[in-house]
Every structure is written in C-alpha cells, then in structure tokens.
Amino acid sequence: MPTKSHTSAAREACDKIHARFPQIALREFRGDTTLTVPREQLVEVMRYAKEACGFDMLLCVSAVDHMGEHTRYEVVYTITQAETGANLLVRTPLDEQDATVPSLVGLWRSANWLEREQYDLMGVHFEGHPDLRRIMMWEGYPFHPLRKDFPVAGVPTETPGIAFTEKAPTAGAPFVTAPGGKTAAEREPRSRN
Amino acid sequence: MATDTQEQTEQNYMCDPDADGGFVYTTLEAAINWMHKYSLWPMPMGTSCCAIEYMAASCSRYDISRFGSEVNRYAPRQADFMFICGTITYKMAGLVRRIWDQMPEPKWCIACGACACSGGMFRSYSVLQGVDKIVPVDVYISGCPPRPEALLQGLITLQDRIMKTDHPLKGFFKTHDLREAQRAACTNTSVITD
C-alpha cells in the first residue's frame, strides 16, 4: 500500500518544483497538475522532477498538433511516482519551423521507443536521441500521418522493394457530428462538405 | 475424415460397389484433386481477431481436422494454402507476400474476415485494402470476425473448387507479379457469406 495518497504526494512534489522554478506556469485541473515548460528548460526541470521529486517513471510521450496556431506542436510527457501513483503532466510547446525538443533518453530509458513513436507519427525531432528511426511505418515512408494536414485516407506512396500505400476508399470521410441539431438524424456523424 | 456424398462419388469416380475386390476407376486429374482436397495443410497467417476464430475452428469443438486440414504448417514451404486471418497493414503486406512466394505450387489462399477481404473498417493510411492486392485469393469469407462455421464453409468451398480443377498440375510453375496479383485473382473467385 502507498504510504501517502497520490494527490497529496503530487501536491507536495508540485510545490517543490514551483519553489525551484517559480517562472514555470503551473495549472491544476481536477487533481492533475500540468506544467508548461519551454524546451530550453525541459531537461533541467525533468531532471529535478526525477531526482529530487521522485518521479521515477516516464509513462507516456505524446504530441498534439494545434494546426493554425502560433505554436503548432506540443509534446506532452506524463511522468509518475511508482511508489505513490502521483502523476505530473509536462507540456512543451514547439514552433512549426523548428519542431525539435531535447531527448529524455538520458533520464528515462523508456523514452527511447516513446520518442521514436512521436518522431514517426508526428514528425517531432528529439535532439540527442541515440536511435531516432521510424517505429510504426517503414524507413523511407515520406509522411508523418498523425499530423492534422495528413488526409485520413492516406497518400499513395511507393518504396520500391519494401512497401507501398494507396489511398483508402473512405466514402467522404472524415465523418463529423453536428452538435445542436434537433433530431438524432441531424446530429449523427456524416460526411459534411 | 469426411467422405464424399454418393452424388459426388458418382461424378468423380467410376466406382462399382458390387465389384468384389473394391476396384475404383478414375482419372489421374480426379485422383490428384482428391488428394489435394483432403490433405490441405494451412499456413495460418493470423494477425488479429479472426485468428482467434481460426483457433476455435481448429480445436476439438469445431474440429477442422474432419476436413483433412488440421496440420498447421508455420513453415510456408510445407504448406498448401494460406489462411489470411486478420488485418494486413502495408508494413505487413510485404512479409505476407514473401511468405506466399515461399509456398510451393499448387497453392491456394483464403481471405478470412472483412479486413483481409477489403480492409474492413480500417479505411486508413496504414491498412492494405484487401489482400487480393498482393496475393491471388480463391475464397473470401465475410464476417467481423466470421464464426468457425463460416471458416469451415470457406474450407469446403475451397475443396469444391479444387475438385473442379481441370489440370491440377498445370499451375505448378505459375508466378504472379506483386501488383498483378489482383488481376489474376479476379478471373476466378468464390465468395461466400454467412
């Protein structure tokens, strides 16, 4: 059994991080705390969170594409204390022209494949990663398919001798709902041009 | 082992049940077809949930060995036909094709389930929209996933097709180019539904 609850452990750790880095924005929503860290400070903050605050496990590295906004990409790290179960979210906004963050493989070895996944599907580069190759798609595939400007149906490609892709028949996808419609038939997901 | 019905027996063999020594007269083609039909060794290409149904079909309750097809060969060089059970991604497609190329002629292919037949619900950048784009498919089985009875029906359909082969040795050395397979498959296929 954990000796203290994960909420009190998280609050304690966040207070500690806030005392050490007072300039970093800290936001709490329904018990989960999110830090927004500029990428220049990312390694420093993460090292402090791991070594001084006990966040000894990197659970997830994901990336968000805010297409059309000033900072298009955002890398989101979820770190946790294995002992107490306290979570902490760390967000790092990135410009479209320079979507590069320092790699965290030196801190958590689980970052290796997680960062490769984000490199493959979202096209974020992780500086200092020991083995930054694609992990889902094959070497030579030219796109990053989870970006907002990539079509759902895919794009025809050909990597001779390795793989090919074709455009999938989607019958007008993506299907979007129309909230506020009077009947269920008006609200249901349809192809809307 | 399943036995032919009386009608099938009369079609395929000249058999005199009253003959004393049990003579059977037949043609070489019919004999070869009959041997192919009842010793179909599958190469189970199981990539997702249809493979679970295939496991059920090959276990004792549904018992695919009643049809002479229980000897799963994970070495493609020993297999007679490929049971493609599950979603094939574009990354997997090359490997499926390589396994197909390693299988000796004569060989057949059953596409089992919606994903293998047409990409199923995965209309996306990563999923091959039907394995008939890379290998020639003989029988399509619908369902998501199909029940074990549907798999057995697919196997029986394949056996019927094999019995109707006119020149069973003709195709020993046929080859298909990767992107030509679909056209080759379109010429003669069976479709069964639940």
B111 close to B138: Cβ distance less than 8 angstroms: no
pLDDT, one tens digit per residue, over B18-43 is: 666 666 777 888 888 888 888 899 99
CB contact under 8 A, A152 and B124: yes
Quote the CA–CA distance of B96 and A35 in Å, as a whole number.
46
Please identify which residue in the block is written with the tokens 């192809």: A191
Q: Is the peptide bond before B106 cis (omega within 30 degrees of 0)?
A: yes
- Residue B65 makes CB contacts below 8 A (sequence gap 6+) with B58
Q: What is the DSSP letter of B89?
A: B
**pLDDT the model gives residue B1:** 39
**pLDDT the model gives residue B17:** 59
Residue B184: band (very low, low, confident or very high) from pLDDT cuts 50, 70, 90: very low
Quote the CA–CA distance of B187 and B194 in Å, as a whole number.
23
Element housing A48 (H / E):
helix A42-51
CB contact under 8 A, B123 and A164: no
Q: Which residues of A touch B (CB under 8 A)?
A: 136-138, 143, 145, 150-155, 162-166, 168-171, 173
Tokens of residue A6, six digits = 């994960």
Using CB atoms, pick whichever of A153, A162, A169 lies closest to residue B94: A162
pLDDT, one tens digit per residue, over B48-80 is: 899 999 999 999 999 999 988 888 888 989 999
A40 close to A27: Cβ distance less than 8 angstroms: no
In chain A, pLDDT over 90 holds for what percent of residues? 37
Q: What's chain B's average pLDDT?
A: 80
Test the A interface: residue of B115, B125, B182 with most A CBs within 10 Å: B125
pLDDT, one tens digit per residue, over A139-157 is: 888 899 998 888 888 888 8
Burial of B107 (C-beta count, 10 Å sphere; 0-12/13-18/19+): buried
* Amino acid symbol at B125: Y
Please report residues of B whose CB lies closer than 8 A to that of A163. 90-91, 93-94
Phi then psi for residue B12, to 5 deg, are -95, -25
Quote the CA–CA distance of B64 and B83 in Å, as a whole number.
13
Q: What is the DSSP letter of B28?
A: H
Q: Which residues of B touch A (CB under 8 A)?
A: 90-91, 93-94, 119, 122-127, 129, 133
Q: Report whether pLDDT(B149) > 90.
A: yes
CB contact under 8 A, A152 and B123: yes
B108 close to B83: Cβ distance less than 8 angstroms: no
pLDDT, one tens digit per residue, over A158-178 is: 887 788 888 888 777 677 777
Quote the CA–CA distance of A183 and B69 in Å, as a whole number.
53
pLDDT, one tens digit per residue, over A11-53 is: 888 888 888 888 888 888 887 889 999 989 999 999 999 998 8
CB contact under 8 A, B123 and A170: yes
Please report residues of B whose CB lies closer than 8 A to that of A173. 123
CB contact under 8 A, A138 and B123: no
Q: Report whether pLDDT(B181) > 70.
A: no
State the ipTM, two decimals.
0.76
Please identify which residue in the block is written with the tokens 């090359």: B94
In chain B, pLDDT over 70 holds for what percent of residues? 75
Return the CA Rg of chain B.
17
Quote the CA–CA distance of B49 and B77 in Å, as a whole number.
25
